[in-house]
């Protein structure tokens, strides 16, 4: 006995926590713990970072859309042009034009006058008409009406697009650089010029006198000969407009040059000369005409150009002109579609879930139904759109583009979400509550309605709102049933009328070429995100409300 004990003491114990091996194991375990934590932190950091990048970029591009440049235009509502009895029929276009007169140079041509009125939005006459129709007492008075400016000027005022742009492209600068390296760039008579060999092609020049022919082509050919690898008409823009004359003068002075190669000095275009001096040549942005800029600057000097908050973005319906386009139609359409979706999917989803969870027998049929519901949740939304198109529009002949059909299609999508969430919430209700109710003699429906459903409500509501939020952001099915109609006015909207929705509006705006729609698309996405955040907050609030209720 005592022998055995001594032997035991000498041998290392099985769990020697102080041994090097044990310490190494401990270190490894700690390292693994830390590693796992680090993976999680990195993953969260990545997710938050990406989200931050997304939102920041949206805010940066979208921010300008929340402001709109407007002109406080003083308009004389001439009774001669607006009939007080029927103000809607007045010649408001002319009134707007007259109101713009103070900013038009007196010597302007008709074309230039039209250009100046284009500073204002094309809807200016309608804005005036709507105002006068709403306030008939203004007829015969001078009124000051804020009128949105057209998109290019809005962008100009916000600094999104510049007044002046660089005159030369980088490739033109490169061509000039190459010509400089060939030592053909010279200063001649105070002008930067190119000294080039020109072959006076007899096929292109008549001797005259005076000599005639395509001297410009000769100049182009000679320039091309210096840069044979360049096939870009922008190259010829380097030459000044009077280049053909330079050749013509030479040929006039000496007709014998025809058929020979001579050295001619070509003056370069003005921007190129500036580039040669080391400056950056600038020209007026081709979107604007000089007379427009002059008029706009006159307005700015008078202090009538303002940049107020763009309430139109929320209260106007869609428009072809970005400065007038708003989201009211899309928000209304989304609201109707979600309303229909909720009214359909909430009761159906909860009833289905209660039946499957509480009443249905477990057999092949209910298994099949269960599997299919789970599968439905994974079906791409565009498929539901096609289904809606084929069944609701094609077979039942429901109106196209209507929020009713949109809501029905969306409810097909939200139903599985709601059913799954509701079943999970019902399952999470402790069985002891059911037993308690059954034990006191409650019937099946009393157990469900009085005890299980109220306890499951927070979960059901959360699931429902998440489903609704999904539906709010869904684009593809709405596009397929045509719920991307162009809706210029909210008044005519209804559940059965054509409509658009927020995501489809974003889609159409993103597709529009006008510069103003770029920021408006981002702004619309921000509005959509804001709605989603609000919906999720409502879900959280409802959760709390129902959980505290005893």
Partner 1 sequence: MEANVEARPVIKIEAPAVRQDEGALPAEQHELKMAARDVNLWYGEKQALFDVSLDIFARQVTALIGPSGCGKSTFIRCLNRMNDVIEGCRMKGDIALDGEDVYAPQVDPVQLRARVGMVFQKPNPFPKSIYENVAYGPRIHGLAHSKAELDEIVLKSLIRAGLYEEVKDRLNEPGTGLSGGQQQRLCIARAISVDPEVLLMDEPCSALDPIATARIEALMEELKETFCIVIVTHSMQQAARVSQRTAFFHLGKLVEVDETTKMFTNPSETRTQDYITGRFG
Site of interaction with partner 1 (CB under 8 A):
361-362, 430, 432-443, 446, 450-451, 455, 550
Nearer CB in complex with partner 1: 228/439? 439
Q: Which helix (H) or strand (E) holds 261?
A: strand 261-267
Min separation Cβ 447 and partner 1, Å:
9
Nearer CB in complex with partner 1: 134/440? 440
Min separation Cβ 542 and partner 1, Å:
17
Min separation Cβ 442 and partner 1, Å:
6
Nearer CB in complex with partner 1: 435/511? 435
Min separation Cβ 359 and partner 1, Å:
9
Sign of the Cα torsion 83, 88, 89, 93 reads positive
Nearer CB in complex with partner 1: 53/428? 428
Nearer CB in complex with partner 1: 308/430? 430
Q: End-to-end CA distance of the chain, in Å?
A: 68
Nearer CB in complex with partner 1: 111/362? 362
Nearer CB in complex with partner 1: 424/455? 455
Residue with structure tokens 């006191």? 440
How much is the CA Rg of the chain, to the nearest whole Å? 38
Q: Is 279:292 a contact under the CB 8 Å cutoff?
A: no
- Note the residue count of the chain: 550
Q: Is 476:113 a contact under the CB 8 Å cutoff?
A: no
Min separation Cβ 538 and partner 1, Å:
23
Nearer CB in complex with partner 1: 307/446? 446
Angle between helices 290-302 and 151-158 (to 10 degrees): 60
**Using CA atoms, how far apart are residues 434 and 451, in angstroms rounded to an integer?**
7
DSSP state of 337: H
| Residue of 280, 282, 200 lying closest to 247 (CA atoms) | 200
**Using CA atoms, how far apart are residues 536 and 17, in angstroms rounded to an integer?**
51
Q: Which two tokens stand for residue 218?
A: 């000769």
Angle at Cα 306 formed by Cα 302 and Cα 310, nearest 5°? Answer: 160
Min separation Cβ 550 and partner 1, Å:
4
**Using CA atoms, how far apart are residues 455 and 458, in angstroms rounded to an integer?**
7
DSSP state of 203: T
Nearer CB in complex with partner 1: 320/445? 445
| Residue of 223, 265, 241, 236 lying closest to 171 (CA atoms) | 236
**Using CA atoms, how far apart are residues 388 and 448, in angstroms rounded to an integer?**
34
Cα distances from 232 to residues 194, 229, 237, 366, 474, in angstroms, run 18, 9, 10, 71, 46
Nearer CB in complex with partner 1: 306/450? 450
Cα distances from 353 to residues 348, 362, 543, in angstroms, run 8, 14, 19
**Using CA atoms, how far apart are residues 317 and 300, in angstroms rounded to an integer?**
29
Nearer CB in complex with partner 1: 436/530? 436
Cα distances from 253 to residues 10, 210, 218, 222, 248, in angstroms, run 121, 10, 17, 20, 8
Q: Is 337:323 a contact under the CB 8 Å cutoff?
A: no
């Amino acid at each position: 006995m005592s022998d055995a004990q001594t032997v035991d003491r000498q041998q290392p114990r099985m769990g020697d926590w102080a041994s090097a091996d044990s310490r190494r194991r401990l270190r490894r375990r700690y390292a693994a713990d830390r590693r796992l934590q680090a993976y999680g932190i990195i993953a969260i950091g990545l997710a938050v970072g990406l989200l931050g990048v997304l939102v920041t970029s949206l805010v940066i591009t979208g921010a300008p859309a929340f402001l709109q440049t407007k002109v406080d235009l003083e308009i004389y509502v001439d009774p001669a042009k607006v009939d007080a009895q029927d103000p809607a029929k007045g010649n408001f276009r002319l009134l707007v034009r007259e109101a713009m007169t103070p900013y038009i140079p007196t010597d302007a041509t008709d074309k230039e006058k039209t250009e100046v009125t284009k500073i204002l939005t094309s809807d200016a006459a309608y804005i005036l008409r709507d105002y006068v129709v709403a306030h008939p007492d203004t007829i015969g008075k001078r009124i000051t009406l804020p009128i949105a400016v057209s998109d290019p000027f809005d962008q100009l005022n916000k600094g999104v697009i510049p007044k002046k742009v660089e005159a030369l492209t980088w490739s033109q600068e490169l061509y000039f650089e190459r010509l400089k390296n060939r030592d053909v760039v010279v200063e001649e008579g105070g002008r930067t010029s190119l000294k080039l060999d020109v072959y006076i092609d007899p096929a292109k020049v008549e001797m005259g006198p005076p000599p005639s022919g395509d001297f410009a082509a000769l100049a182009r050919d000679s320039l091309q000969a210096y840069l044979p690898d360049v096939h870009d008409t922008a190259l010829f823009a380097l030459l000044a407009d009077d280049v053909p004359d330079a050749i013509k003068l030479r040929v006039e002075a000496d007709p014998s040059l025809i058929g020979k190669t001579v050295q001619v000095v070509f003056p370069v275009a003005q921007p190129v000369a500036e580039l040669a001096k080391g400056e950056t040549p600038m020209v007026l942005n081709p979107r604007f005409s000089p007379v427009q800029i002059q008029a706009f600057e006159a307005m700015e000097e008078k202090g009538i150009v303002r940049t107020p908050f763009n309430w139109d973005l929320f209260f106007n319906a869609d428009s072809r002109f970005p400065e007038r386009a708003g989201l009211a139609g899309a928000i209304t359409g989304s609201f109707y579609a979600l309303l229909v979706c909720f009214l359909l999917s909430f009761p159906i989803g909860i009833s289905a879930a209660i039946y499957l969870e509480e009443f249905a027998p477990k057999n092949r049929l209910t298994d099949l139904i269960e599997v299919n519901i789970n599968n439905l949740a994974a079906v791409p939304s565009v498929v539901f759109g096609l289904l809606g198109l084929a069944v609701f529009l094609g077979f039942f002949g429901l109106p196209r583009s209507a929020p009713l059909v949109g809501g029905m299609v969306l409810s097909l999508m939200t139903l599985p979400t709601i059913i799954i969430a509701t079943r999970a919430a019902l399952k999470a209700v402790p069985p002891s509550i059911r037993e308690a109710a059954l034990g006191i003699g409650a019937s099946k429906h009393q157990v469900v309605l009085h005890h299980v459903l109220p306890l499951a409500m927070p979960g059901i509501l959360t699931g429902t709102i998440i489903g609704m939020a999904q539906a709010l952001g869904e684009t593809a099915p709405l596009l397929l049933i045509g719920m991307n109609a162009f809706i210029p006015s909210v008044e005519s909207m209804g559940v059965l009328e054509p409509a658009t929705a927020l995501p489809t509006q974003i889609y159409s705006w993103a597709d529009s070429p006008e510069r103003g729609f770029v920021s408006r698309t981002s702004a619309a996405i921000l509005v959509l995100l804001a709605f989603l955040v609000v919906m999720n907050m409502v879900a959280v609030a409802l959760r709390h409300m129902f959980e505290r209720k005893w």
